[in-house]
C-alpha cells in the first residue's frame, strides 16, 4: 500500500481516564484507505481471552486445528479456565504484578504466567498466548479543515476481537480529491 502524503492524523480521547485511540499509520490502495489504529486499552486480566499461538490437531482429524484458551475471572472472580483441545481445567488465580499471574489448577501445581508487554504475549506452561480483547465500538470521522467533521460511512467489517497491544486495520473507501484529516472516536453502547 502507498503512503498518503500531506495527511495529518489526529487521535481523540474516549472520555475515560485512559488515553484514547491513536492512528498509528495510514495508507491507501485502489481508493481504499487503511488506518492502523491502536485502541490503547488498559491491560486487565479479566477482560481478555488468551489464545495459544500454536495450533493442535482436532478430533475428528478432519476438523480444523484448535488452539488452547485461557480466561481469568471471566465467569467468576478468582477462577481460571484453561481450555485444551477437548477438555477444560479450572482453578484459582492471583495477579501478583501488573503482568504476572499465578494459577493453581485443581490437581496440579502452581503455574506462573508472565506477559511480555513488548511482544504482547503471555508465556504460560511453556506456550505463548495472544491476549485478545473485544473490539470497542468506534466511529471514524474525516475533515478537510479541522473544523467540521463528518462520520465516515462504509467501514469494512472489523474483527470482534483484536490482539491487545497491537494495532488493528480499519478500512473504508474514500475519494481522496483533497487533503483529509481523520479521528477515531470510541463510544459506549
> What cell numbers appear for 87 in the block?
477438555
**The whole model's pTM is what?**
0.79
Query: What is the C-alpha to C-alpha distance for residues 82 and 103, in angstroms, rounded to an integer?
Result: 10
Fold topology of 45-134: Lipocalin (2.40.128)
- Measured at the alpha carbon of residue 26, what is the angle toward residues 149 and 36, in degrees to the nearest 5? 95
3-state secondary structure of 45: helix
| Paired strand residues for 49 | 71, 132
| pLDDT tens series, the chain, 189 aa | 333 333 334 433 223 334 578 899 998 888 899 999 998 888 999 999 999 999 999 888 899 999 999 999 998 999 999 999 888 999 999 999 999 999 999 888 899 999 998 999 999 999 999 999 999 999 999 998 889 999 999 999 999 999 998 999 999 998 766 678 899 998 876
109 contact partners, CB below 8 Å, separation of at least 6: none
Query: What is the C-alpha to C-alpha distance for residues 104 and 14, in angstroms, rounded to an integer?
Result: 37
- pLDDT score recorded for residue 28: 86
Nearest Cα residue to 183 out of 4, 33, 35: 35
Locate the domains of the chain by residue range.
2-41+136-186, 45-134
CB 66 within 8 A of CB 55: yes
> What cell numbers appear for 36 in the block?
492502523
Radius of gyration of the chain (CA): 20
- pLDDT score recorded for residue 10: 43
46: DSSP letter: G
Amino acid at each position: 500500500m502507498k503512503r498518503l502524503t500531506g495527511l495529518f492524523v489526529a487521535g481523540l480521547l474516549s472520555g475515560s481516564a485512559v488515553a484514547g485511540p491513536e492512528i498509528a499509520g495510514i495508507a491507501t490502495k485502489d481508493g481504499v484507505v487503511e488506518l492502523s489504529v491502536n485502541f490503547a486499552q488498559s491491560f486487565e486480566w479479566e477482560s481478555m481471552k488468551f489464545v495459544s499461538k500454536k495450533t493442535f490437531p482436532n478430533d475428528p482429524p478432519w476438523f480444523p486445528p484448535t488452539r488452547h484458551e485461557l480466561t481469568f475471572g471471566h465467569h467468576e472472580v478468582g477462577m481460571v479456565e484453561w481450555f485444551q483441545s477437548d477438555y477444560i481445567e479450572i482453578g484459582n488465580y492471583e495477579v501478583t504484578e501488573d503482568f504476572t499471574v499465578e494459577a493453581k489448577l485443581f490437581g496440579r501445581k502452581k503455574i506462573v504466567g508472565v506477559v511480555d508487554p513488548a511482544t504482547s504475549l503471555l508465556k504460560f506452561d511453556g506456550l505463548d498466548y495472544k491476549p485478545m480483547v473485544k473490539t470497542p465500538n468506534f466511529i471514524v470521522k474525516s475533515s478537510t479543515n479541522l473544523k467540521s467533521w463528518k462520520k465516515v460511512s462504509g467501514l469494512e467489517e472489523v474483527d470482534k476481537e483484536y490482539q491487545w497491544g497491537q494495532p488493528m486495520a480499519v478500512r473504508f473507501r474514500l475519494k481522496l480529491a483533497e487533503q483529509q484529516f481523520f479521528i477515531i472516536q470510541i463510544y459506549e453502547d
